[in-house]
Amino acid sequence: MTPIAADIPASLLRLLAYDGTSPLIFSSGLFLFLFAGFLFFYALLRRATTARILYVIAFSLYFYYKSSGLYFLLLIFAAASDFLIARRLHRTENQAGRRWFVALSVAVNLGMLGYFKYTNFLIDIANDLFGEGFLEFRNIFLPVGISFFVFQSMSYTIDVYRRQLRPLDNWFDYLFYLSFFPQLVAGPIVRARDFIPQIRRRPVVTREMFGAGVFLILTGLFKKAVLSDYISLNFVDRIFDEPLLYTGFECLMGIYGYALQIYCDFSGYSDMAIGIALLLGFRFPKNFDAPYKSATITEFWRRWHISLSSWLRDYLYISLGGNRKGRLRTYGNLLLTMLLGGLWHGAAIRFILWGALHGAALALHKLWMSLVPGARATGSEMRWWSRGIGMFLTFNLVCFGWLMFRAESMQTVRLMLHQIFHSFNAPMIPQVLAGYAGVFALLAAGYLLHLLPRRIDDAAQRLAVRAPLVAQVAMAAVMIWCVMQVKSSDIQPFIYFQF
């Protein structure tokens, strides 16, 4: 046997084995290679519904295994648990029994989320209160994307409880819905009532869907691998790691850089997820809509992570009473919803403060609209000068929140603010701009592209959709070349994998 032939089994084992340091992500060459092979057999199974469903489930579980190892069994457990609970819930006529079953579903899902995500946080709090060593620290592994599939699964049972959805009869259909790999680890959070009707429908990929899918995958790849990763590795991470080594201007630009980084990282993932789903014949809802164009904090949350903000509105804010219980209760519901939204993002005080900041801002904006005649919820209803002022204020409020979101501790937050307000060092600005010319060029390009009118983005997508296949292949080749020019040697996981 030749050395090359002998190495094939070892290579296959490495391909199949879990490696925590090398997750399977959309922007990696390995995923693009595997996805090309997956598409070939997927097309062959287009008319064989059951075989196609099982094939996609198998690939989805493999995809999740490559990110979280044996914790893919947790995903299977969640699918089995809520599938059985929803069926029993649907057959129960007694309202008290129905409440018990939906409460059981919520308890199982939040119990999983709480154990894996918040145990260490609660141990730290207990040790701070009662002394170090009161409870033993346990380094619990956080399965990638657990917050996403837990919220997605809860929405299914809650919709069944509200009689807005009939439960599925086939468990594999539900496992398909929960494990579908494009949106599995970082969203968008897809509602069961929107996705389930598509599962057994024969997948049809029109020319428009194919072109839009390719366009979204390429733009997502550009956002993630060119803009986000380069800005992060060459500027933002350095600033947040040692803020005292940099001027206040650099610290401020580090915050603005992170605002663009997290947007490009997360919206890039969403674009790729939506694009990949289109190539498979499925449609996902839009998850981002140029959020930094927002002129109010209310508008920001209608544009940022739309699937999460609408989930929090429909399943938490409205369940708490929404705006139906009076003005003070409305403000309290907004604050509590965003506090829990902050806690969903991470088990740390800084995430709770981030949620509190946005909750208080939303409540104050609602109060402002009730007291000031002519005040508007969104910038589209404002005059141009009012919209400009609103965009500036909203963006900087959001960036202040991103400071807490990104910093490793509140100490880092204090150091960054100290540098900005006490050591800005304006005379150093030309030298900083020259030293980080590439970073600031990408920052300027990223924000400029973000602020372009929607009609230009729509025109670019229409052009890509109508382009001949040869031109689409050429665009893909150019994008891959650009990625190769700026990519680092290490894989940079998507930021929202940690949530």
Asked about 345 being catalytic, the answer comes back as yes
Tokens 């604050």 sit on residue: 335
Amino acid at 356: A
**Distance from the first to the final alpha carbon of the chain:** 46
Torsion of Cα atoms, 411 then 415 then 416 then 421, to 10°? 140
Active-site residue (options: 305, 345, 358, 450): 345
Short-list 476, 424, 419, 499, CA closest to 189: 499
Looking from the CA of 145 toward its CB, the CA atoms found within 13 Å total 33
Chain centroid to CA 421: 32
CA–CA dist 325, 28 (Å, integer): 49
Do residues 221 and 267 touch, judged by C-beta distance below 8 A?
Answer: no
Q: Which two tokens stand for residue 101?
A: 């079953």
CA–CA dist 113, 163 (Å, integer): 26
Short-list 136, 141, 135, CA closest to 116: 141
Short-list 310, 104, 78, CA closest to 190: 310
Bond preceding residue 143 cis, omega within 30 of 0: no
CA–CA dist 194, 307 (Å, integer): 12
Short-list 214, 255, 298, CA closest to 473: 214
Do residues 108 and 74 touch, judged by C-beta distance below 8 A?
Answer: no
- Separation in Å, CA 357 to CA 335, 410, 423: 9, 15, 25
CA–CA dist 105, 103 (Å, integer): 5
CA–CA dist 234, 229 (Å, integer): 8
CA–CA dist 463, 324 (Å, integer): 46
Greatest distance between any 2 Cα atoms in the chain? 83
Q: Which two tokens stand for residue 490?
A: 């290490």
CA–CA dist 65, 349 (Å, integer): 31
Short-list 143, 142, 165, CA closest to 154: 165
Short-list 314, 252, 262, 311, CA closest to 291: 262
Q: Which residues are catalytic?
A: 345
